[in-house]
Amino acid sequence: MITNDRPIEQLFIWLLTKTRGGKTRTQIIQTLKITPKNTNQLAVYLNKSYKTISHHITVLEKNKLIVPIGDTYATTYFLSSPMEANYQLFKQVTSKSNQAKKKLKVLQR
């Protein structure tokens, strides 16, 4: 478990709210929290292309938020231990981001 929440919070903010694809990465994490899936299952479940999901899986894996089990096509992805341990923080960060986006939409009307 990460003892200092600040670095993982900054990682969540950057990967999930400040970069393109944050919404898709958030959906992948939320889906894997419910049940582990492979890339194809995620693509079908989230109604995204296999290539898109594969890209985001690579980003999440490089940042150690998910871990692969198995090999090649049958690789199934799970949330990593640090991701599981900090899931509440993940929910807080994504919730704050969603609230801010809603406020921005209201102001733009």
Among residues 46, 59, 58, 57, which one has the least CA distance to residue 15? 59
The pTM assigned to this predicted structure is: 0.83
Residues 6 or more apart whose CB falls under 8 angstroms from that of 108 comprise: none
Higher pLDDT, 100 or 50: 50
Q: What would the pLDDT profile of 76-96 be if each residue is shown by its tens digit?
A: 999 999 999 999 999 999 987
Confidence at residue 96, expressed as pLDDT on a 0 to 100 scale: 76
Confidence at residue 109, expressed as pLDDT on a 0 to 100 scale: 54
3-state DSSP assignment of residue 49: coil
Domains of the chain, with CATH numbers?
A: 5-108 (1.10.10.10)
How many Å apart are CA 27 and CA 33, to the nearest integer?
A: 10
The torsion angles phi and psi of 4, rounded to 5 degrees, stand at -100, 115
Q: What would the pLDDT profile of 38-79 be if each residue is shown by its tens digit?
A: 999 999 999 999 999 999 999 999 999 999 999 877 899 999
